[in-house]
Structure 1
Amino acid sequence: MSARTAAATRVTQEKWTSVRTAVSDCGERFAALIESTPDPSVSATGHWSVAETAAHVTGIAWNYTVLGSAAAGPLPIPEVRRHMPTATVDNIHAGLNPTQLRAYRERDPARLAARLRSSVREMLTRTADEDPGGTVEWLGGSRLPLAGVFAHLMNELHIHGRDIACGTGAPWRIPDDEAGLFFELFLVEIIRNGTGVLLHDDRPVRRGSIAVEFRSAHTVPVTFVLDTGVFRAEEPSGRADVRIRFRPAALNLMLFHRTSVTRTALSGAVVASGRRPWLLPAFLREIRMP
Structure 2
Amino acid sequence: MVAKDCDGALAEACAALREVVPSLVALVRSVPDAGSTAIGTWTVGDTAAHLSHAFRFDTDAAAGRPIPEATVTTAGMAKLNAQLLAEDAERDPALLADRIRALAREFDGVVSRAATVDWLQGVRLPPSAVACHLLEECLVHGHDIARATGRPWPIRRAHALLAIEGAAFPLIGALPPTAFVNQQKAASFRGRFDLRLRGGGRTSMVFDRGSLTLEAGCAGDADAHICADPVALMLVFIGRQGIERPLLGGKLAAWGRRPWKLARMLSAISPP
Question: Structure 1 residues 263, 204: closer, same or farther in 2, change over 3 A?
Answer: closer
Tell me the CA shift for residue 55 of structure 1.
Answer: 0.6
Aligned positions of 1:239-254 closer than 5 A: 239-254=221-236
1:16 aligns with 2:1: no
The 8 Å contact of residues 15 and 181 in structure 1, kept in 2 or not, is answered as no
Closer, same or farther: CA 136–282 of 1 in aligned 2, 3 Å? farther
Structure 1 segment 173-184 matched on structure 2, within 5 A: 173-184=154-165
Letter in 2 for 1:168: T
Taking the aligned partners of 1:66 and 1:246, their CA distance within structure 2 comes to 34
Give the secondary structure class of the aligned counterpart of 1:190. Answer: helix
Amino acid at match of 1:129: R
Q: Deviations over 1:126-174 (max 9, x none)?
A: 111323xx35333x66654332222121111111111111121212111
Q: Distance in 2 between matches of 1:98 and 1:203?
A: 23
Q: What percent identity do the matched residue pairs reach?
A: 30
Structure-2 residue corresponding to 1:185: 166
Q: CA deviation at 1:44?
A: 2.1
Aligned residue for 1:78?
Answer: none
Listed as ranges, the gaps of 5+ residues in structure 2 are none
1:142–1:225 Cα change, 3 Å: farther
1:147 matched to which residue of 2? 128
Task: Provide the rounded CA distance (Å) in 1 between the counterparts of 2:191 and 2:177.
Answer: 20
- Structure 1 segments unaligned to the other structure (5+ residues): 1-8, 76-80
**What is the total number of aligned residue pairs between the two structures?**
269
Cα displacement (A) at 1:180 = 0.4
1:92 aligns with 2:104: no
Correspondence 1:121 to 2:108: no
- Of the three residues 18, 24, 35, the one matched with 1:30 is 24
Q: 1:188 to 1:10 in 2, by over 3 A?
A: farther
Alignment root-mean-square deviation, CA = 2.5
| 2:161–2:200 Cα contact (<8 Å) kept | yes
Hey, what's the Cα distance between the residues in 2 that align with 1:28 and 1:201?
A: 35
Q: How far is 1:30 from its partner?
A: 0.8
Give the TM-score of the pair, scaled to structure 2. 0.88
| Contact 1:40–1:49, Cα closer than 8 Å, also in 2 | yes
Is 1:263 aligned to residue 255 of structure 2?
A: no
Task: Write out per-residue CA displacement over residues 94-133 of structure 1, whole angstroms, 9 at most, x where no aligned residue.
Answer: x1121111112211222211111111111111111323xx
